[in-house]
Chains A and B, each alone.
Chain A
């Protein structure tokens, strides 16, 4: 019954190895294995929906010795989101790379990134989280360096050294957890963790490592250059997924495992940093001269919103209000994942069509590439948080939870962030609809534009109208059995 949880990791892994040796058919192998993995992720969500969270012990080893894979509402929904984004980006990437050598290098790394993402979301213990974080980091950095120009290589080296530092700090925290409790299994830990100096230091170290990985202000400095200089399908995965899974681990540790250790003050501190990230990231996005750099700074801001939820979830009493805030966080993360990947794929289309992505010189693109500019506008709707997008509901609940928790000071931050987001989205649209030279006046309509359109529609329409079931699903099926 729980075979799908193995296949969702095994299929991309096999695909990666086969595409390495059989590079002529690599695109076909990648598309097939990602579609199969997407199907497996949907089976996992169905299983969680029907019979609740479940655990699979690989090789039937007992807990603590072998590798255990777990799925609950949070991880399975993020898994489906990540596989949908990956599948769309895979279709886009099959038309993106024209150079045969680059294409042959891209597919094995890309599938390895998928393996790392899926294994991370399903990991049930701290050490596997560390290993999958490293696997994710290494494949993401190798993919960034595929652009093979100076800016991309410098960004990749910076990303690598800061990422390595983050994981070592995380690993030091893991070592302390093992000293204190003799286990690394998340479900077991959530029963035994108590507030003590040791668990506070361990928790602090793990949080610090993950904050680097999730690029919370002021540790975001490595993100814009890396996300802006990577090839477009890679940027989509980096911004939509790679940063977000670090937030996922953080959320897991904060809410499920280390809740006796954390104090309202530390949650408030992260919320404050998140608020600064919202304002600073949006402001930098407004100043950015290039489309992809703008999208990267917008990611810094959108990650900030997720951190504003933390002090609210900690402050609210257990019950429907807390569950609502928790689900709204998930909805914001999902919407941003779909919208930002759609945005980056469209930016890639524009970059290949115009030969550049300078915002001031986008004139005429709305006439030449109407579908792509429509996708940018749609994902802009989701980034701003206008109805009917999922982030409209997310922000609505964010504001109502801050009023319920008596923390009104987040409301002006959310308002300012949304106004700045409106400004940077309309700045692009303004330039795109302006008359311009240098762009062909022939209407173009290509299959490389379709994946981005599907992602943007998911973010704005499906999540906006269809997310009502998410609230019940998360409040009933979250957490691990025994956790």
Chain B
């Protein structure tokens, strides 16, 4: 039986690959942003899996701190892309 850590790491790598493929295939803003967020979720899952050290032990805090920062960055970048997209739509209507 494979360990939980490996399972989560592989899931993370899978998500990353799916997101990467979709990012490269889509040219519309919204699907692309969703794909980038899936891609990011994959990377964060890999970090979480790295931090895991068994049920009895405390998880490594460094990767978890990194994930928190990563999520903040991803949220702000997504928000900015959406704001730019809205502004572009508004300019198209004028």
A binds B: yes
> Provided the pairs A127-B66, A164-B77, A178-B50 are in contact, do residues A156 and B43 lie with their beta carbons within 8 angstroms?
no
C-alpha spacing A148/B23, complex, angstroms: 26
By the criterion CB–CB under 8 Å, are B23 and A161 in contact? Answer: yes
Q: Does A145 contact B (CB under 8 A)?
A: yes
Interface size on A, residues (CB 8 A): 33
Inside 8 A of B40's CB, which chain A residues have their CB? 168
Inside 8 A of B42's CB, which chain A residues have their CB? 172
CB B72 to nearest CB in A, in angstroms, measures 9
> Provided the pairs A141-B80, A150-B88 are in contact, do residues A165 and B73 lie with their beta carbons within 8 angstroms?
no
Closest to A157 in B: B84
Q: Does A461 contact B (CB under 8 A)?
A: no
CB B90 to nearest CB in A, in angstroms, measures 10
> Provided the pairs A127-B66, A178-B50 are in contact, do residues A164 and B36 lie with their beta carbons within 8 angstroms?
yes
Task: Flag B52-84 by CB within 8 Å of A: 1 or 0 each.
Answer: 000000000011001001100110110011001
Q: Does A171 contact B (CB under 8 A)?
A: yes
Interface residues of A in 151-181 (CB under 8 A from B): 153-154, 156-157, 160-161, 164-165, 167-169, 171-172, 174-176, 178-179
Q: Does A256 contact B (CB under 8 A)?
A: no
Interface residues of B in 1-56 (CB under 8 A from A): 16, 20, 23, 29, 32-33, 36, 39-40, 42-43, 46-47, 50
> Provided the pairs A134-B73, A138-B80 are in contact, do residues A165 and B43 lie with their beta carbons within 8 angstroms?
no
CB B29 to nearest CB in A, in angstroms, measures 6
Q: Does A38 contact B (CB under 8 A)?
A: no
> Provided the pairs A138-B77, A168-B39, A175-B63 are in contact, do residues A157 and B29 lie with their beta carbons within 8 angstroms?
yes
Interface size on B, residues (CB 8 A): 31
By the criterion CB–CB under 8 Å, are A172 and B43 in contact? Answer: yes
Closest to A153 in B: B88
> Provided the pairs A150-B91, A154-B88, A168-B36 are in contact, do residues A160 and B23 lie with their beta carbons within 8 angstroms?
no
By the criterion CB–CB under 8 Å, are A161 and B43 in contact? Answer: no
> Provided the pairs A145-B84, A161-B33 are in contact, do residues A178 and B63 lie with their beta carbons within 8 angstroms?
yes
By the criterion CB–CB under 8 Å, are B73 and A172 in contact? Answer: no
C-alpha spacing A362/B43, complex, angstroms: 50
CB B48 to nearest CB in A, in angstroms, measures 10
Partner of A149, one of B46, B77, B80, B91: B91
C-alpha spacing A466/B92, complex, angstroms: 52
CB A179 to nearest CB in B, in angstroms, measures 5
Inside 8 A of B69's CB, which chain A residues have their CB? 127, 131
Inside 8 A of A168's CB, which chain B residues have their CB? 16, 36, 39-40, 43
C-alpha spacing A148/B86, complex, angstroms: 12
Partner of B88, one of A157, A165, A175, A178: A157
By the criterion CB–CB under 8 Å, are A145 and B87 in contact? Answer: yes
CB B70 to nearest CB in A, in angstroms, measures 6
Partner of B80, one of A65, A142, A165, A184: A142
By the criterion CB–CB under 8 Å, are B36 and A161 in contact? Answer: yes
CB B89 to nearest CB in A, in angstroms, measures 10
C-alpha spacing A172/B63, complex, angstroms: 12
Task: Flag A447-465 by CB within 8 Å of B: 1 or 0 each.
Answer: 0000000000000000000
CB A131 to nearest CB in B, in angstroms, measures 6
By the criterion CB–CB under 8 Å, are A157 and B91 in contact? Answer: no
C-alpha spacing A157/B89, complex, angstroms: 12
> Provided the pairs A150-B92, A157-B84 are in contact, do residues A134 and B46 lie with their beta carbons within 8 angstroms?
no
Inside 8 A of A150's CB, which chain B residues have their CB? 88, 91-92
By the criterion CB–CB under 8 Å, are A161 and B88 in contact? Answer: no
By the criterion CB–CB under 8 Å, are A178 and B62 in contact? Answer: yes
Can you list 17 residue pairs at the A/B interface with Cβ under 8 Å? A145-B87, A149-B91, A150-B88, A150-B91, A157-B29, A160-B84, A161-B23, A161-B32, A164-B77, A165-B23, A165-B39, A168-B36, A172-B16, A172-B46, A175-B47, A176-B46, A179-B50
* Contacts from A to B (Cβ < 8 Å): 64-65, 127, 130-131, 134, 137-138, 141-142, 145, 148-150, 153-154, 156-157, 160-161, 164-165, 167-169, 171-172, 174-176, 178-179, 184
Query: 8 smallest A-B Cβ distances: which pairs?
Result: A153-B88, A134-B73, A175-B46, A172-B43, A157-B84, A171-B43, A160-B81, A179-B50
